[in-house]
């Protein structure tokens, strides 16, 4: 779509949109839609969109300040095996389905990572390693966000229908729902204990970003003959450790964590603004089918495994 606006005027629009991203009710999904709308209107501001990758990486590092190392260690005793099996299963099946469905390898990797670990954050982290097109990142985010929204609504309904305990539901939600916010939402809807369990186990699942990013970087080396070191993962770990050894800085760390979350929203807005309709169409139905199949797989298998003894 054509427009008569100058780049200066477009920059003002982008500035206002970025300020909106700091508002608490602007979720990553809403930010992505905002970006997509600007793209459809032909409003692109290349001077800022080139910093998208840096924004993603910086946001992940800042969010590390919000992770409590003591809780991480405690949670690892509760849900490490469950999350490990889930992540390995989803990534393995995702790789096979990507081949079988003839899905673009980068989209397949992003959707698999988003399903296996923590939705948008995992997609952001892996994107920084494999350098996909904006359209590939956007499409992967759309798939994950849509399924995420559905899970937030139907998981508590399913839990009540099968009369799941608070503990069982919390564990299931943490393993089978993509994004942390939806895990927390579903857990809170189901009950206090479910929320506590879901949040704790989700914490461990999120940490799988670290080994997955490193393995992906090594895999890229095999393909390209060079390794792209995911430096931000080291800083992510460092931010968790710093927050632990300097408890007096909790207020500062909370603010940095908030800034990281808002930065992620801004980065996803920029991703959406840099997509073209033609590129989105090229992703195709098969990519969406991949996301749906993986989501059903992890939800069904984890549900059966957790309820088999009941």
What are the percentages of helix, strand and coil residues in the chain, rounded to 5? 85, 0, 15
Yes or no: say if 166 and 197 are a contact pair by the CB < 8 Å rule. Answer: yes
**Residue carrying the six token digits 């989803």:** 90
Distance CA 79, CA 61 (A): 23
Q: What is the pLDDT of residue 147?
A: 86
Report helix, strand or coil for 136: helix
Q: What is the pLDDT of residue 78?
A: 62
Q: pLDDT tens across 171-227, in order?
A: 999 999 988 778 888 888 898 888 888 887 887 888 888 888 888 888 776 565 555
Distance in angstroms between the alpha carbons of the first and the last residue of the chain = 57
What number of other Cβ atoms are within 10 A of residue 173's Cβ? 32
Q: Is the predicted pLDDT of residue 19 greater than 70, yes or no? A: yes
Distance CA 123, CA 137 (A): 7
> Structural domain boundaries of the chain?
63-264+274-307
Q: pLDDT tens across 237-278, in order?
A: 889 889 989 988 999 999 999 999 899 889 888 878 877 666
Supply the DSSP symbol for 163.
T
Q: Is the predicted pLDDT of residue 158 greater than 90, yes or no? A: yes
Q: What is the pLDDT of residue 2?
A: 56
Tokens of 284: 């195709």
Q: Is the predicted pLDDT of residue 23 greater than 60, yes or no? A: yes
Q: Is the predicted pLDDT of residue 284 greater than 80, yes or no? A: no
Q: What is the pLDDT of residue 280?
A: 61
**Residue carrying the six token digits 């099968």:** 162
Q: pLDDT tens across 101-135, in order?
A: 999 899 999 999 999 988 888 888 888 888 888 77
Instruction: Record the pTM.
Output: 0.76
Q: If 0-12 CB within 10 Å is exposed, 13-18 middle and 19+ buried, where does residue 259 land?
A: middle
């Amino acid at each position: 779509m054509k427009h008569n606006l100058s780049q200066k005027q477009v920059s003002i629009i982008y500035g206002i949109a970025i300020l909106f991203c700091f508002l608490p009710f602007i979720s990553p999904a809403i930010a992505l839609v905002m970006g997509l709308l600007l793209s459809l209107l032909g409003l692109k501001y290349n001077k800022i969109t080139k910093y998208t990758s840096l924004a993603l990486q910086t946001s992940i590092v800042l969010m590390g300040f919000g992770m409590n190392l003591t809780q991480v260690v405690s949670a690892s005793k509760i849900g490490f095996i469950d999350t490990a099996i889930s992540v390995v299963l989803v990534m393995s099946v995702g790789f096979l389905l990507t081949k079988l469905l003839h899905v673009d390898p980068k989209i397949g990797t992003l959707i698999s990572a988003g399903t296996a670990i923590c939705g948008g954050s995992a997609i952001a982290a892996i994107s920084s390693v494999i350098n996909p097109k904006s359209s590939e990142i956007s499409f992967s985010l759309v798939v994950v966000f849509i399924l995420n929204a559905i899970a937030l609504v139907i998981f508590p309904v399913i839990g009540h229908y099968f009369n799941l305990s608070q503990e069982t539901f919390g564990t299931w939600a943490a393993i089978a729902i993509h994004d942390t916010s939806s895990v927390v939402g579903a857990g809170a809807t189901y009950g206090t204990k479910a929320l506590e369990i879901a949040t704790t186990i989700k914490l461990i699942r999120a940490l799988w970003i670290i080994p997955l990013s490193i393995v992906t970087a090594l895999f890229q080396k095999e393909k390209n003959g060079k390794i792209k070191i995911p430096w931000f993962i080291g800083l992510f770990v460092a931010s968790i450790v710093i927050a632990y050894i300097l408890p007096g800085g909790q207020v500062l760390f909370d603010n940095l964590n908030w800034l990281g979350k808002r930065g992620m929203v801004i980065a996803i807005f920029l991703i959406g603004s840099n997509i073209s309709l033609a590129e989105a169409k090229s992703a195709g139905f098969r990519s969406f089918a991949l996301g749906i199949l993986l989501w059903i797989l992890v939800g069904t298998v984890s549900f059966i495994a957790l309820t088999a003894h009941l």
